[in-house]
Amino acid sequence: MKLIFWTLLIISGIADSISEQYEVVGPAEPVFAVAGEDAILPCSVKPSISVVDMRVEWFRLDLKDSQPVHLYEDHEDRNTDQIQSYRGRTKLIHQELQRGDASLKLSSVRVSDEGLYKCFIQSRSWYDDATVNVRVEAVGRPPVITVDGFDHSGGLHLQCESKGWYPEPDLEWLDGDGVSLIPETTEKHRNTDRFSVKHSITVHRRDSQIHCRVKVRHHMLEALIISSSNMFNSWRTSVILIVLVVVLSVTAGILIAVFVHKNRAHDRLEDEHNHLQDEKRRIQHERYQLLRGLETIIPKALTHLRTHSVNVILDGDTAHPRLIVSDDGKQVREGRTRREAVDGKTDRFNEYRGVLGKDGFGSGCFYFEVQVKDQTKWYLGVARESVIRKGLIRLSSVNGCWTVSLYNGKYRARESSYVLLSLSVDPQRVGVFVDYNEGLVSFYDVESMSHIYSFTNQSFNEKLYPFVCLGYYWNENSTPLIICDDY
């Protein structure tokens, strides 16, 4: 009888162990993060069972330090022994643990965060782990082109420099046709964890656009200089100018001697001074008139754009499951509950907190305004009808999204790469104007009556829908984005 009892007990233990087996899954490709921004290190169990009662530990494989990056145990985070450089920058979403998602949010990414991470999940009778390869990019300063004189044959010396990149960037020169030019000298320096690069080149072509492009894996910045015939002729004219300066100097000396002899020097200088004062007052008056003209032109332009206003109503069936769209379709905000998949006619965004308008436009012009006041993370603009709504696609014109955004305190547009926007004031209400036939998408700060950014020469071949977004993964700011009709 005892033998039967122990046999059943052993069989039961083995069955429990087998039933609790799971696989820890990480991303197949490296996770690319941008220095200064937030990143998500994906990790989950398969099948999707709750890991609330399990031990979840994140640690670095490429560091000798045995301290954890993040530790969750006995239903709470235990980070007293956490690596110092990660203090206050890691977070598990406890609600997602119920669904077997143990992804780690890493805030304010640093270059030193690059490396191999291990996601280790342990239950009472089983454990498994997955490796996550994190690659960090730091976007440096925009390149600066300086003219460094001419050589004996009239070639134009150009120098391009950019600082603050990681990893080591590539710098290349291109002519107006996009053909690469070979640099003459190259300098690269590393300061702590960032790289600086400087290239020099001599250009002999005339009336040409010369581009200096600096790039790392997924980011690129570019500067442009137009080398005209006048610039190439300046090395010849410099000799003539020197001769003229000498001649004028001699002439001026003779004139001054004559004026001193005739005692008129003082009167002439006074006349010149009065003439300069009159010229200064004339320029100031013209500037004042120009500013007055702009003050009337900009409001008129905004009034014209508003003649193309459309009634935008947000389509809740396309909204991310955690977004809450108001009953009238005019507001959207972050919610705390997750709604399930929709009825199959349309797909929701499942990573970006995005939502489309109900109506699309396939011709002509249209305009709408969105209030972004007090919201610290947003994207807005238009998206084509077939825009991919699953996964972390780049919200760029290449992928069918024409947007401007505020993220980590920086304003940006996204074409083939990021374009950082320098705005004098923080927009409270943004106007979006689309001329479908001309391939134009423009953004305006309504309150300061200023232009923010324009996508030009675009090619549209399907309907465009208004698009607003509250970032990706989550947004802790519950302030809504509001479609405005009060104008």
Identify residue 463 by its one-letter amino acid code: K
CA distance 324 to 340: 13
CB burial of 296-328 (b: ≥16 within 10 Å; e: otherwise) equals eeeeeebeebeeebeebebbbebbbebbbbeee
**Taking 80 as the threshold, does the pLDDT of residue 257 lie above it?**
no
Q: 21-137: CATH homologous superfamily?
A: Immunoglobulins (2.60.40.10)
pLDDT bucket at 7, cuts 50 / 70 / 90: very low
Q: How far apart are CA 335 and CA 370, in angstroms?
A: 19
Task: Tell me which amino acid residue 244 is.
Answer: L
pLDDT of residue 261: 56
Query: For a pLDDT cut of 70, what percent of the chain falls above it?
Result: 77
Flag whether pLDDT at 279 surpasses 80: no
Whether the pLDDT of residue 362 is over 90: the answer is yes
Is residue 266 very low, low, confident or very high in pLDDT (cuts 50, 70, 90)?
low
The proportion of the chain whose per-residue pLDDT surpasses 90, expressed as a percent, equals: 46
- Segment 51-77, tens digit of pLDDT: 999 999 999 998 877 789 999 999 999
pLDDT beyond 90 at 90: yes
Reported as a pLDDT band with limits 50, 70 and 90, residue 6 is very low
Q: What is the mean pLDDT of residues 260-272?
A: 57
Band of the pLDDT at 288, cuts 50, 70, 90? Answer: very low
The least confident of 83-87, 274-278, 441-445 is 274-278
pLDDT at 188 over 80: yes
User: Is 200 exposed, middle or buried (CB count within 10 Å of its CB: 0-12, 13-18, 19+)?
Assistant: middle
Position 191 confidence tier, pLDDT thresholds 50, 70, 90? confident
pLDDT above 90: residue 448: no
Architecture of the 316-484 domain: Sandwich (2.60)
Q: Answer whether residue 189 shows pLDDT above 90.
A: no
Q: What is the pLDDT of residue 216?
A: 86
Give me the sheet containing 352-356, strands edge to edge: 352-356, 464-472, 378-384, 401-407, 410-414, 418-421
Question: What is the pLDDT at residue 431?
Answer: 95
pLDDT at 286 over 60: no
246 Cβ contact partners less than 8 Å away, ≥ 6 residues apart: none
pLDDT of residue 135: 93
Closest CA to 115 of 190, 40, 31: 31
Question: Residue 181: its pLDDT value, please?
Answer: 85
Q: Which fold has domain 144-227?
A: Immunoglobulin-like (2.60.40)
Model confidence pLDDT, tens digit, residues 100-125: 999 999 999 999 999 999 999 999 98
If you average pLDDT over every residue of the chain, what do you get?
A: 81
pLDDT category of residue 301 using cuts at 50, 70 and 90 = low
In this model, does residue 93 exceed pLDDT 50?
yes
User: Above 70 in pLDDT, residue 18?
Assistant: no
pLDDT at 137: 93
Q: Where in the chain are all domains bearing CATH 2.60.40.10? A: 21-137, 144-227
- pLDDT number for residue 218: 81
- The larger pLDDT score, comparing residue 15 to residue 408, is at 408
pTM above 0.75, yes or no: no
pLDDT at 457 over 70: yes
**pLDDT of amino acid 345:** 44
Q: What is the pLDDT of residues 308-353, one digit of tens each?
A: 999 999 999 999 988 999 999 999 999 866 554 444 445 788 888 9
Least confident of 134-143, 234-243, 267-276, 477-486: 234-243
Length of the chain: 487
Asked whether the predicted pLDDT for residue 400 surpasses 80, the reply is yes
- Residue 262 structure tokens: 């005739």
Structure tokens at 39: 């990143």
CATH 2.60.120.920 location in the chain: 316-484
For residues 73-98, b (16+ Cβ closer than 10 Å) or e, as one string?
eeeeeebeebbeebeebbebbeebbe
